[in-house]
Amino acid sequence: DGGITQSPKYLFRKEGQNVTLSCEQNLNHDAMYWYRQDPGQGLRLIYYSQIVNDFQKGDIAEGYSVSREKKESFPLTVTSAQKNPTAFYLCASSITGPTNEQFFGPGTRLTVL
Amino acid sequence: DQQVKQNSPSLSVQEGRISILNCDYTNSMFDYFLWYKKYPAEGPTFLISISSIKDKNEDGRFTVFLNKSAKHLSLHIVPSQPGDSAVYFCAIRAPPQFYFGTGTSLTVIP
């Protein structure tokens, strides 16, 4: 059963702590993405990766870091430098090509106390 | 600067009637347009798409219209059903990125 998994669904952390959000896909997609959603706002791109061992900053990369050591995995670390980390985080993947849609995971709700 | 705008944050429609969701964009270089549906606390799911060489694409009850001269995209749902109640995002591809609108919350009243 192909898809994207994100874990955990809910995550609580104390202010000042780094936290890593997991994203795994078994769709054999080359491209993977991380978005952040805040109330009343659209999805804003944090980082994306089109191929293993390569990734690019999106519109709001400050305070975040990623790695892409395997095609299936694209973990996101929310660092203590991120000023307002409480949000709903969505991971997506897609094939690369002219008519590619993104497939999304179920999301992780991060709350920083 | 927001490249994709959905100016209506919410829309209520009676069951069986037509729902029309709208989206405006700024960059004429965009080549592929998509609509996603999202339920609370879940990831968006792909609904329908259209490429810039077409002006209409239909899939069952869902039709997407593209007006390139007006830089306007719309999604028509006919007939609307209570299960269609969700937040709808338009998304526009400017390779390698996708840009998303802020979403329109659709409520279909039984």
Whole-number pLDDT of residue A103:
92
Q: What are phi and psi of B49, to 5 degrees?
A: -140, 170
- The answer, yes or no, to whether residue A106 has pLDDT greater than 90, is yes
| Residue pairs spanning A and B at CB distance below 8 A | 60
Token readout for A101 is 């849609």
Average pLDDT value for residue range B16-45: 92
- The answer, yes or no, to whether residue A98 has pLDDT greater than 80, is no
Residues of B with CB under 8 A from a CB of A: 4, 6, 9, 31-32, 34, 36, 41-46, 49, 51, 89, 91, 93, 96-98, 100-103
Q: Assign B30 to helix, strand or coil.
A: coil
Tell me the pLDDT tens digit for each residue of B49-96: 999 999 999 999 999 999 999 999 999 999 999 999 999 999 998 877
Tell me the pLDDT tens digit for each residue of A39-73: 878 899 999 999 999 999 999 999 999 999 999 99
